[in-house]
Amino acid sequence: MIKEFNIIVVGAGAAGMMSAIEAGKRGRKVLLLDHAKKIGEKIRISGGGRCNFTNLNTDASKFISQNSNFVKSALKQYSHENFISLVESHKIKFHEKKLGQLFCDKSAQQIIDMLLLEAEKAKVTLKKEIFITDINMIDNEYIVSFGNNNYHCESLIIASGGLSIPKIGASKFGYDLARKFNLKVIETMPALVPLTFSEKILTMCKGLAGLSLEAVVSHNKTFFEEGMLFTHRGLSGPSILQISSYWKLGDEISINLSPNINILQFLIDKRSNSPKIDVSSIISEIIPKRLASIICLQNNVKGNISEISNKSLSKLSNSINNWFVKPIGTEGYRTAEVTLGGIDTNEISSKTMMSKKYPGLFFIGEVMDVTGHLGGYNFQWAWSSGYVAGQYA
């Protein structure tokens, strides 16, 4: 069977739905395909079920890409304010949790329902459980084949996402297609992912499991000041997830467990003013007691602060203000929130999201070499790039 559409969108996630809606609004005949049974699964599980759908602080600095300027045009064409207006127009209540992160008050399902309603209004044809077997370009038309069907279109939008969480539909479809068309793909890696640690660190973390604190976690010149959590599996929490997008195997990360206080100076002052107080008690004025005890134990310091040498105080304060940890890996795509790398942005027009080599072929969302920081930026990229492709496809 041969069917004609103006546009076929592969992947009915955040970016694909947005592009289909926008193109449909322009009167284009749009077919939106997904191999999954349920639509918008990543949206549903996002933000702990409340979907952190955008961030008030969205700008190019919150994205990682080989071309750091690439996102600017799309973010300008469709900003976080535009998406907030859409959410408001559907009377979905939301709140800022922290650091500009906007979450639904009730449930992420509200965002999925909003997109499905908009797609229906824009007369988008949605087909689920479609397993594409081939895509070819003949005479400036794209032919998408599945089963005995060949669907023809003038514009093909690839919105098949990244590799994270394969069990809810992630696939390497977009990367394979790009390679088939000889488009460069930047090496992919799990990002916003828990790091894994050696037995020594694990033992410490297990003893502290459940404890959280604000920390500055750094890798080279990049740092994040957000929550950090000790768990049975190691170190986790937003600051660790954020740094995972920059960390490379073999590198150390540095952790400041007390970002606002110079511990060495604090301990020296205490030694003059309160020499008879136990060093662990002094440190627990600043960091949680359990953590203070373990750090003192590891540094082999105990007793009144007056009895501790300058050298030991310096070593102790370094392990609080500048604790170097060498992760041994990451938990991989099984738990990663996003995929670093993807379709090289040099292949794509930043104004339209269309391939520079193949007129009518578009890439949007996470499949591209654009990765947002934690905090709603990845969805904003999906909305912005999806909107843009929807205007030009």
Q: By the criterion CB under 6 A, which residues form the site for ligand FAD?
A: 10-16, 33-36, 42, 45-47, 51-52, 132, 159-161, 164-165, 169, 171, 173, 337-338, 365-367, 376-379, 382
Which one, of 191, 194, 285, lies nearest residue 234 by Cα?
194
**Contact predicate 364/352, CB 8 Å:** no
Nearer to ligand FAD, 14 or 255 (CB): 14
Which one, of 199, 209, 192, 171, lies nearest residue 291 by Cα?
209
**Contact predicate 131/36, CB 8 Å:** no
DSSP string, 295-332: HHHHTT--SBGGGS-HHHHHHHHHHHHSEEE---EE--
CB 115 to ligand FAD: min, Å: 10
CB 157 to ligand FAD: min, Å: 11
Nearer to ligand FAD, 115 or 243 (CB): 115
Over the Cα atoms of the chain, what is R_g? 25
CB 363 to ligand FAD: min, Å: 10
Dihedral of CA atoms 258, 262, 266, 268 in degrees, nearest 10, equals 130
- DSSP secondary structure letter of residue 230: E
| Rounded-to-5 percentages of helix, strand, coil across the chain | 35, 25, 35
CB 290 to ligand FAD: min, Å: 29
> For residue 194, what are its two tokens?
């828990």
Nearer to ligand FAD, 36 or 291 (CB): 36
CB 166 to ligand FAD: min, Å: 10
Helix (H, G, I), strand (E, B) or coil at 219: strand
Nearer to ligand FAD, 156 or 255 (CB): 156
Nearer to ligand FAD, 36 or 313 (CB): 36
Nearer to ligand FAD, 161 or 238 (CB): 161
CB 277 to ligand FAD: min, Å: 44
